[in-house]
Amino acid sequence: MKIIKSGIRLHKVVLDIITSHSFIVITLAGNLIILGSSYLFFFLEYGKNQSIQSFLDAVWWGFATATTVGYGDIVPITVPGKILGILLMLMGTALFAMYTALFAQSIMEDELLRFNKKD
């Protein structure tokens, strides 16, 4: 029973997080940064980089780079493309750090509220 209650509480915390203003703003800003970087990458690399045949290839590169997955199937070959890649990696790391902080804060607030109810 205790496990079920914990699961329900965690579900509520996650639902509260993903519907929060902060989560939505971070998600929209992050996606705009990735798509903007993808567009710029396409502009810088198309015609010079054989791996970039369409804008979707650039979007794939943008998401793989921002999430630091970096499959290696698409790599920048121009100096501006490499600099953009470095900046997107840094922004992606910061973006996911914000998500982590948001989740940690929400879980800690829930635990604090639960602890204070016991008193």
Chain center to CA of 93: 8
Structural domain includes residue 4: no
Q: How many domains does the structure of the chain reveal?
A: 1
Burial class (CB in 10 A: 0-12, 13-18, 19+), 32: exposed
pLDDT tens profile 9-41: 667 888 888 899 999 999 999 999 999 999 999
Structural domain includes residue 38: yes
> What CATH number is attached to the domain comprising 33?
1.10.287.70
pLDDT tens profile 95-115: 999 999 998 988 888 778 777
Burial class (CB in 10 A: 0-12, 13-18, 19+), 44: buried
Structural domain includes residue 65: yes
Segments forming the whole domain that contains residue 56: 23-109
Structural domain includes residue 96: yes
Structural domain includes residue 36: yes
Structural domain includes residue 87: yes
In this structure, what token pair is assigned to residue 20? 């929060």
Structural domain includes residue 16: no
Res. 8 pLDDT band, cuts 50 70 90: low
pTM: 0.83
Using the structure block, give the residue that is written with the tokens 């496990």: 3
